[in-house]
Structure 1
Amino acid sequence: MRQVVTHIYTVGASEMSQTIEAVPRRPRDQLHAYIQSNLQFISGHPKEVRALGEIFLTMRRKSGELAFGPEDEEPVLHVLEQIFREGQATGEFRLFDARIMALNLRATIDKFSSLVGVGREVDLKSYIREMIELFGRATCKTQE
Structure 2
Amino acid sequence: MRSESPDKAPTFTESARRSQIIGCAIATLSEVGYSGASLAEIARRAQVSKGVVLYYFDSKDDLLQQVVIDVYTRAGEAIETRLAAASTAGAKVTGYLEANLQFVGTHTADVRAVVEIVTNARRPDGGLKFSPEGEDPVLAHFEQLLRDGQASNEFGSFDAHNLAVMIRGAVDTASGRLIADPSFDLESYTRELMTVVELAVHRRSP
Q: CA deviation at 1:71?
A: 2.8
Identify which of 16, 19, 31 aligns with 2:79.
Answer: 16
Correspondence 1:56-67 to 2 at 5 A = 56-67=118-129
Correspondence 1:88-99 to 2 at 5 A = 88-99=150-161
Query: Are 2:121 and 2:129, in contact at CA under 8 Å, matched by a contact in 1?
Result: yes
Q: CA deviation at 1:119?
A: 4.5
User: Which stretch shifts more, 49-58 or 113-122?
Assistant: 113-122
Query: Are 1:50 and 1:118, in contact at CA under 8 Å, matched by a contact in 2?
Result: no
1:30 maps to what in 2?
92
TM-score, normalised to structure 1, is 0.91
Q: CA deviation at 1:59?
A: 0.6
- Partner amino acid, structure 2, of 1:99: H
Q: CA deviation at 1:46?
A: 0.6
Call closer, same or farther: CA 1:128–1:104 in 2, change over 3 Å. same
Measured against aligned partners, the alpha-carbon deviations of 1:62-99 in whole angstroms (never above 9, x if no partner) come to 01000011338711111111111111111111111111
Correspondence 1:33-52 to 2 at 5 A = 33-52=95-114
1:6 equivalent in alignment to 2:69: yes
Call closer, same or farther: CA 1:14–1:72 in 2, change over 3 Å. farther
Correspondence 1:113-128 to 2 at 5 A = 113-128=175-190
1:83 maps to what in 2?
145
TM-score, normalised to structure 2, is 0.65
SS at 1:70 equivalent: coil
Unaligned runs of 5+ in 2: 1-63
Unaligned runs of 5+ in 1: none
Q: Which has the higher contact order (CA 8 A, sep 6+)?
A: 1
User: Which stretch shifts more, 75-84 or 55-64?
Assistant: 75-84
1:102 maps to what in 2?
164
Call closer, same or farther: CA 1:126–1:72 in 2, change over 3 Å. farther
Query: Are 1:8 and 1:48, in contact at CA under 8 Å, matched by a contact in 2?
Result: yes
CA RMSD in angstroms comes to 1.6
Measured against aligned partners, the alpha-carbon deviations of 1:17-57 in whole angstroms (never above 9, x if no partner) come to 22222221x11110000110000000001111111111111
Q: CA deviation at 1:15?
A: 2.0
CA separation in 2, counterparts of 1:70 and 1:142? 34
Displaced runs of 4 or more, over 6 A = none
